């Protein structure tokens, strides 16, 4: 083991031990923070939203590649402008998909109550005039 590694581990151990002794006891007038966990239905909504954005991103990519092929076959200013616009759209959709996916992952890992869930009730009704879908979280 190199000297730098030993010094780093020693400093880490000293900092950890001094931090453990420096903590003040919990006072009675302080109320500890209790986070409210979310229902898994919100995570499922995030998964569906991420999948929908992903599907639109794939469609946009296919459209962008088709415009590239059109431009390669017959170059024009109009097709190039459409291709640049489609490429920007594809990047925006792809980044949005990644952000939604990461947000859903963090929400599911950090703020979701996977045990002791509130039951989710899904209802669907249809008549000759209209159709409705309801999602209810029972308290």
DSSP per-residue string spanning 44-109: HHHHHHHHHHHHHHHHHHHHHHHHHHHHHHS--HHHHHHHHHHHHHHHHHHHHHHHHHHHHHHHHH
Q: What is the spatial distance between Cα 99 and Cα 107, in angstroms, rounded to a whole number?
A: 12
HSE toward the beta carbon, residue 138, CA cutoff 13 A = 8
Does this model's pTM top 0.75? My answer is: no
The reported pLDDT for the residue numbered 115 is: 72
Per-residue pLDDT at 127: 66
Burial class (CB in 10 A: 0-12, 13-18, 19+), 64: buried
Average pLDDT per 10 consecutive residues for the chain, totaling 139 residues:
49 51 55 63 88 95 95 94 96 95 88 66 64 60
Residue 63, CA atoms < 13 Å, CB-side half-sphere: 17
pLDDT at residue 4, rounded to an integer: 47
With beta carbons less than 8 A apart as the criterion, state whether 118 and 137 touch.
yes
């Amino acid at each position: 083991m190199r000297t730098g590694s030993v010094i780093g581990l020693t400093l880490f151990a000293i900092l950890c031990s001094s931090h453990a002794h420096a903590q003040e006891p919990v006072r009675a007038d302080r109320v500890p923070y209790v986070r409210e966990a979310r229902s898994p239905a919100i995570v499922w909504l995030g998964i569906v939203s991420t999948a929908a954005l992903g599907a639109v991103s794939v469609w946009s990519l296919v459209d962008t590649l088709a415009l590239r092929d059109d431009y390669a076959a017959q170059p024009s200013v109009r097709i190039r402008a459409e291709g640049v616009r489609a490429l920007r759209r594809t990047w925006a959709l792809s980044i949005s998909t990644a952000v939604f996916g990461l947000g859903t992952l963090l929400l599911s890992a950090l703020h979701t109550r996977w045990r002791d869930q509130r039951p989710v009730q899904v209802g669907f009704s249809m008549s000759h005039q209209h159709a409705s879908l309801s999602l209810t979280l029972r308290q």
